Amino acid sequence: MRKPVYLDNQATTPMDPRVLEAMTPYFLEHFGNPHSTTHSYGWTAEAGVEKARRQIAAVIGADAAEIYFTSGATEANNLAVKGTMQALGAKRPHMVTLVSEHKCLLESARSVELSGYRVTYVPVQENGLVDLAVMEAAIGDETALVSVMAVNNEIGVIQPIAEIAEIAKARGAVFHSDAAQAFGKINLNVDTQHIDLMSLSGHKIYGPKGIGILYKRAERRVAVTPQMSGGGQEKGLRPGTLAPAQCVGFGEAAEIASREMAQEEGRLRTMMERLKASLKAKMPAVIINGDEDMRWVGNLNISFPGLDGELLLANLRDLALSSGAACASAVSGPSYVLKAIGVDERTAKASLRLGIGRFTTDEEIDFASETLIKTVTKMGGLKP
């Protein structure tokens, strides 16, 4: 049996062999504790970690001192949301976010609500994008934090974060962005886009799992209360011994992604256009979810009206894809993101997320479109 074609690059990406190569010495040879200051084992490990910090900072126009390693974007989002509300919430007890954020951001927002802060969940339009006027109306003088993701993990739309951040800044609020799906794929710059806090993840950019960062602007108004007690690592914001191999891997992955960004985007765009064209030619009733222009080219979220969603997935064993976010598919039920853009429940269930990436080939694209067309035909075709 052949392995299914991997089309779930929004859930995670395979590791780039160049990343593994950079990491390997830090498991065996350079095993020191990066926080040991009295010998060369510690210094070597620390040097690796600090290089990674500079590599990541360079991609987003930040200072290395503003990068705080975490276990991933989930932890960074928790730290940004809970930590900011705890630090600033006494004076400004309100937070604004989007209904279509990643589950871990929404759950962090629920948690601060339970602590007594107010949260406004701004809706998105049918194209998945926020209406700037609605966003502006939601942000007030009591708003401590505005958190809006850069690229949506389910439907791939790119939110106008620079415009939103400017509104937040004018009201004196801190702006956070979950950029796990955007980092290394579209241009991000913390200064030109007025970003105060940003969450990133290693395993979405062909790096290792279990590592991420919180970018925190070095300004007093950007205050975040730590969520763990420990030995003061990462300037006390995120204590615990760092994992040098993971940090080094994330740094290398960031540098590669940044260097090859334009070239990779072009290649993915060509493949995605081909995939979309062949699907639409044979199945004109197929619906593309999310704005067609303001989107990351590696993501295609499509609905197959009239089909049974569970049966569809069961018939697609040759393709490794998902019907929504990986983290939400453990809990069954249709996607809340598709619901937020007005897709009815039955159609939402008959929807697929196709995520192509660095290692996707033209042959795999052709196999995927042939398989999808064959399966839908076998199931009786679309009934719009």
Ligand X SMILES: *Cc1c(COP(=O)(O)O)cnc(C)c1O
Nearest CB to ligand X, comparing residues 194 and 204: 204
Among 327, 359, 362, 380, the active-site one is 327
Q: Is 323 in the site for ligand X (CB under 6 A)?
A: no
CA 182, distance to chain mean position in Å, is 6
Q: Is 67 in the site for ligand X (CB under 6 A)?
A: no
Q: Give min distance, CB of 128 to ligand X, in A.
A: 13
Residue nearest to ligand X (CB): 72
292 exposure class (CB count in 10 Å sphere: 0-12, 13-18, 19+)? exposed
Applying CB under 6 A, among 56, 106, 180, 350 the residue interacting with ligand X is: 180
Q: Is 322 in the site for ligand X (CB under 6 A)?
A: no
Applying CB under 6 A, among 104, 109, 174, 341 the residue interacting with ligand X is: 104
Q: Give min distance, CB of 324 to ligand X, in A.
A: 12
Question: Contacts with ligand X: how many residues (CB under 6 A)?
Answer: 13
Q: Which stretch binds ligand X (CB under 6 A): 139-147, 176-184, 330-338, 351-359?
A: 176-184
Q: Which of 268, 276, 292 is nearest to 184 (CA)?
A: 268
Q: Is 153 in the site for ligand X (CB under 6 A)?
A: yes
In the annotation, is 327 catalytic? yes
Residue with tokens 């983290």: 327
**Contact mark string toward ligand X, 290..319, x via CB under 6 A:** ------------------------------
Q: Is 32 in the site for ligand X (CB under 6 A)?
A: no
Q: Is 73 in the site for ligand X (CB under 6 A)?
A: yes
The partner residues of 300 in beta bridges, in order of sequence, read: 354
Nearest CB to ligand X, comparing residues 180 and 222: 180
Q: Give min distance, CB of 180 to ligand X, in A.
A: 4
Q: Give min distance, CB of 384 to ligand X, in A.
A: 30
Residues contacting 308, CB < 8 A, separation 6+: 349, 350, 379
* Cα-based distances in Å from 176 to 97, 105, 108: 10, 11, 13
CA dist 220 and 218 (Å) reads 7
Nearest CB to ligand X, comparing residues 72 and 357: 72
State the sign of the Cα–Cα–Cα–Cα dihedral 326, 331, 332, 338. negative
**Contact mark string toward ligand X, 130..149, x via CB under 6 A:** -------------------x
Q: Which of 75, 78, 60, 91 is nearest to 173 (CA)?
A: 91
CB 97 within 8 A of CB 146: yes
CA dist 323 and 338 (Å) reads 10
CA dist 331 and 354 (Å) reads 20
Q: Is 102 in the site for ligand X (CB under 6 A)?
A: yes
Nearest CB to ligand X, comparing residues 44 and 199: 199
Q: Which of 48, 60, 374 is nearest to 243 (CA)?
A: 48
Give the helix, strand, coil percentages of the chain, each rounded to 5.
40, 15, 45
Nearest CB to ligand X, comparing residues 205 and 316: 205
CA dist 148 and 179 (Å) reads 9
For the chain, where are the alpha helices, taking DSSP H only?
Answer: 17-23, 40-60, 73-88, 103-114, 132-138, 161-170, 244-259, 261-282, 309-314, 326-329, 336-340, 345-349, 362-378
Q: Which stretch binds ligand X (CB under 6 A): 68-76, 109-117, 225-233, 244-252?
A: 68-76
Nearest CB to ligand X, comparing residues 246 and 315: 246
**Contact mark string toward ligand X, 212..251, x via CB under 6 A:** x---------------------------------------
Residues tagged active-site: 327
Give me the residues that bind ligand X (CB under 6 A), please.
72-74, 102, 104, 149, 153, 178, 180-181, 201, 204, 212
